Amino acid sequence: MPLRIKRIYEPADNDDGKRILVDRLWPRGVSKNDAHIDAWVKDVAPSAELRRWFGHDPKKWDEFRRRYQDELKKNSMAVEELKEQIGQTTATLLYGAKDSQHNNAVVLINFISKH
């Protein structure tokens, strides 16, 4: 299953395959029609508490990654739901953060590939 990540604000294209939003909150300024998503698996996103603590601060990245992976291990039902949504097709995990290197989708794609 080819799996990639992409910012939801980037235009959809044919190479995206199944488009799955993995944020808990709907991204600002994006209409549901313009998003072209196939699924929204919000339960796989970091908890509200962890998201607020991280605040997209790159200095907190290593600790965020560790805490988020711990949440994912405890939230196996949401991870399984995401895997079912992905299936055997090409899929793109969509996120809203501005930082393409320090966001939940980066952690999530690595977690899925290892588990």
Residue 63 contacts residue 70 (beta carbons within 8 Å): no
| Tokens, residue 28 | 């600002």
Q: Which pLDDT tens digit goes with each residue over 34-71? A: 899 999 999 999 999 999 999 999 999 999 999 999 99
pTM: 0.93
Domain that holds residue 17: 3-114
Widest distance between CA atoms in the chain: 36
Q: Which pLDDT tens digit goes with each residue over 5-14? A: 999 999 999 9
In the sheet with 91-95, reading across from the earlier edge strand, the strands are 3-7, 91-95, 18-21, 39-40
Residue 37 contacts residue 20 (beta carbons within 8 Å): yes
Residues 41, 50, 30, 87: what is their CA dihedral angle, to the nearest 10 degrees? -20
Total tally of structural domains belonging to the chain? 1
